[in-house]
Chains A and B, each alone.
Chain A
Amino acid sequence: MAQLLLDNVSKTYRPRGKEPVQAVKRVSLDVKDGEIVALLGSSGCGKTSMLRMIAGFEDVTEGAIRIGGKEIHLLPPAQRDVAMAFEGYSLYPPLKVRENIGFALLRERGASADIEKRVKHIAELLEITDILDRYPTVISAGQQQRTSLARALIRRAPVSLLDEPMSQLEPQLRAILRARLKDYLIEHKMTTVFVTHDQTEAIALADRIAVMEKGELQQFGTPAEIKQSPSNLFVASFIGEPPMNIFDAAIAAEGNASAISGLGPNGQPAFRLKAPVEAANGKRVRLGIRPHLIEIGANGSADATGKVITNHWLGDQSHICFEIGGCSVVGVPDKPVEAQAGDALPVRFPLGAVHLFDAESGRALAHGLGQR
């Protein structure tokens, strides 16, 4: 259980005959002892390259990686004392599942009874006790993935690296296995880094999330920070299901106060909010508000009227998509709302939930417009 530090790490691939590709650009991360960190981004953003560099399967082009203060980026993988669960499962075909899981423990020369116990315990956790005596080639993809995960977790290595650990999992098992995984990692204080493109998984499991895009670190913060104070437009629109509603907006002064207007697709105002906005007049900004913070069917003053397009009830929550001034807006009310396609609903955007972003750079300007 150790601290992991990435210091200005860069990775450039130079395929022969083609342009060099910068997969990772000067990323620095500090993972505290016992912390669970997610590397989140869409495919090609550099997250898998980062993980492979920490594991030792890729060279570090620039920068350093330290575990517990010791530089490890020049050591071969076997000497780094990290455990890795691969996306391609990479199980040993001639060994049974049980032997695959316990493989690394053999190196540590524990008593075989003790190894048995630990294998059984982790298999129970990941619901693979019934396949312990089967071979990797006859089990399903989801079971192979769980075996690979078990093999990495059982070692309780100082640093554990998980590459898309639950992508193949049956949806019904996901919630409970995530819960048990998180419990296990917390209980054994395991420093863990995992890669995923599924922001739901990142938010559920991680203490902090490193959002990456095109090789650059966009934001590194807790799920709450990332949801409530996204550092730029990319993070704001990547995180959350449903994702944040984003509008083009224009700010205009009105006497002593100022107002910000959300703009429709043709540039015409779709709604107006009176807000103290310190940005310059007419500056191009974008406005964001998360779906569940939109007040639908508000009793008080409404900011706009939305025409319902779809109302999906998903069992424990509703997702309503409506149209405001030509914009498509999604809201998640906290109680089911009786509304059908075509109905008109009053809608309010609480100022505290409004985020402002610079239209050109995407950088966040304000999280929440206070009332004065």
Chain B
Amino acid sequence: MTSLELRNISKGFKSGKVLDDVSLSVKAGEIVVVFGPSGTGKTVLLRMIAGVHYPDTGSIAIDGEDVTDASPEARGVGMAFQNFALFPHFSTFENIASPLEARETPAGRLKEQVGAIARMLKIDHVLGHAPRELSNGQKQRTALARALVAQPKVLLLDDPLRNVDAKLRYEMRLELPRLLRTFNAAVIYVTQDYKEAMALGDYIAVLRNGRIEQWATPMSVYREPVSIDVARLFGDPTINLLSCKLTVNGTGSITLFDRRVPIAETYAHAAGRDLVAGLRPEHVVVSESEAPDAIPFDLDAVMPVNVRSVLYLRGAKGEELLATVGETEAAKFGRGQRKVWVRFAPSHLLLFDAASGQRIAPQVH
């Protein structure tokens, strides 16, 4: 049985409609990431599941039971907030114990359960502290512990890693999936960080303008984004977008950087349309020496980024192109400010309709 089901949820505020006909379902033990840029209603969605806001239309069911009108305390969900929302005048222990205390758990068992989860999250040594004495990482773990301690069926995580140091964020990104799977709850995780989304989610719901634009596994969202906007949201650096037009003259081709690039037959149905070609930076091949079919570019800056480096390229007409290469390869290019040659495989191009922004899928006859 699905643990959480949302049907046709809509919500509007004075400023406009925040959620428009959103439906999704999450099974026990599954992690669904609701991903999108800020202000797109992700937090409102979470709060409606928690019972803090009420939807204008639509229904919410937990374990088959309709909870759309139920008050927050009756829903049995656990929630961890982005800004922690710890009770400042309670100790860490009392913060975590709060859900158990609400369920009138006897003192002995309560202490045991709080201790167990604190040990799991490595905050057992600060249980006696007040929230203001904790570091951000500890506060975040306390918020998580509080959400998890009563073993809720539905777990809502509102961008819990947002306010945490980059280093700790990476550690938690590795630890969280393992932790969450031991609880077998239906998890909805909200984030703006695509890497987190791809690392944590079994499914990703891309929320834009109040609607779910794409619902797919991380790999599908990355390789087959449904629109230019979705393609831009995944990948660092952002995907390169180049305007072009598909002409069919025997074989199909588009013109990029004043060169003809052959395009597979399966795209023939898009002929004559204004298109936008998407090319991910990792698919741009850069070399120091001239090669047949390679396009000359000016390499204006080199930015090492962790394991790879980003090359900032300017074309003959001033077009910008970003490419990534491995760390050792990047060393060849120094600080930039030189000429390089660029190639890419046409099969790596993603084609989008310029007017609608939707991706054009290849048609196999």
Contacts and interface: CB of A to CB of B under 8 A. Distances in A.
A associates with B: yes
Nearest to B239: A172
B174 A204 contact: no
Interface centre among B222, B282, B322, B327 (most CB of A within 10 A): B327
Interface in A181-205: 182-183, 186, 197-200, 203-205
A346 interface: no
B170 A242 contact: yes
Interface in A301-347: 309-310, 312-317, 319, 321, 328, 330, 332, 334
B310 A312 contact: no
B255 interface: no
Interface of B: 37-38, 165-167, 170, 173-174, 177-178, 192-195, 198-199, 218-219, 222, 232-238, 280-282, 300-301, 303-308, 310, 312, 320, 322, 324, 326-327, 331, 335-337
A316 B193 contact: no
A172 B235 CA distance: 8
B236 A186 contact: no
Contacts of B304: 203-204, 223-224, 227
B324 A316 contact: yes
Nearest to B170: A241
A255 interface: no
Given A172-B232, A179-B301, A315-B234, A334 B312 contact: no
Contacts of A313: 198, 218-219
B220 to A, nearest CB: 12
A292 to B, nearest CB: 5
A179 B310 contact: yes
Interface in A160-195: 170-176, 178-180, 182-183, 186
A297 interface: no
A39 to B, nearest CB: 16
Contacts of A315: 194, 198, 222, 234-235, 280, 282
A304 B232 CA distance: 40
A174 B301 CA distance: 15
Nearest to B219: A313
A243 interface: yes
B195 A310 contact: no
B322 A179 contact: yes
A332 B327 CA distance: 12
Chain A contact-residue range equals: 35 or more
A59 interface: no
Contacts of A183: 300-301, 312
Contacts of A174: 236-237
B303 A178 contact: yes
Contacts of B237: 174-176, 179
Contacts of A175: 236-238, 281, 310, 322
A309 B166 contact: no
A191 to B, nearest CB: 15
A172 B238 contact: yes
A158 interface: no
A207 interface: yes
B51 to A, nearest CB: 29
Contacts of B167: 42, 199, 238, 241, 243
The secondary-structure label for the interface of chain B is mixed
A240 B308 CA distance: 11
A200 B307 CA distance: 10
Contacts of A171: 192-194, 236
A330 B306 contact: no
A203 B331 CA distance: 13
Contacts of A334: 326
30 contacts: A170-B38, A171-B194, A173-B238, A175-B237, A175-B310, A176-B237, A176-B320, A176-B322, A179-B303, A182-B303, A182-B312, A183-B312, A186-B301, A199-B167, A204-B305, A240-B306, A241-B167, A241-B306, A243-B170, A291-B307, A310-B177, A310-B199, A312-B174, A312-B199, A313-B219, A314-B199, A315-B282, A316-B281, A330-B174, A334-B326
Q: Quick one: which of A171, A224, A315 has the most chain B CB within 10 A? A: A315
Contact of A321 (B174, B301, B335): B174
Given A172-B238, A176-B320, A197-B165, A314 B303 contact: no
A214 B301 CA distance: 32
Shortest Cβ-Cβ A-B pairs, 8 listed:
A175-B237, A179-B312, A204-B303, A312-B199, A316-B282, A182-B301, A292-B307, A315-B222
B303 to A, nearest CB: 4
A182 B299 CA distance: 12
Contacts of A242: 170
Nearest to B218: A313
A75 B308 CA distance: 42
A135 to B, nearest CB: 19
B238 A176 contact: yes
Given A176-B322, A179-B303, A199-B166, 4 more contacts: A42-B165, A175-B238, A179-B300, A198-B166
A172 B241 CA distance: 13
Contacts of A332: 307
Nearest to B198: A314
A309 B281 CA distance: 29
A337 B199 CA distance: 15
A182 B312 CA distance: 10
Interface in A271-315: 291-292, 309-310, 312-315
Contacts of A317: 307-308
Contacts of A330: 174
Given A198-B166, A200-B306, A315-B222, A186 B337 contact: yes
B180 to A, nearest CB: 12
Contacts of B194: 171, 315
Nearest to B222: A315
Contacts of A241: 166-167, 170, 306
Nearest to A141: B38
Contacts of B308: 316-317
Contacts of B195: 314
A180 B301 CA distance: 8
Given A172-B233, A309-B178, A316-B280, A203 B306 contact: yes
A200 B178 contact: no
A224 B331 contact: yes
A319 B308 CA distance: 13
Contacts of A178: 303, 310
B37 to A, nearest CB: 7
B34 to A, nearest CB: 16
A224 B327 CA distance: 9
A207 B165 CA distance: 23
A316 B306 CA distance: 13
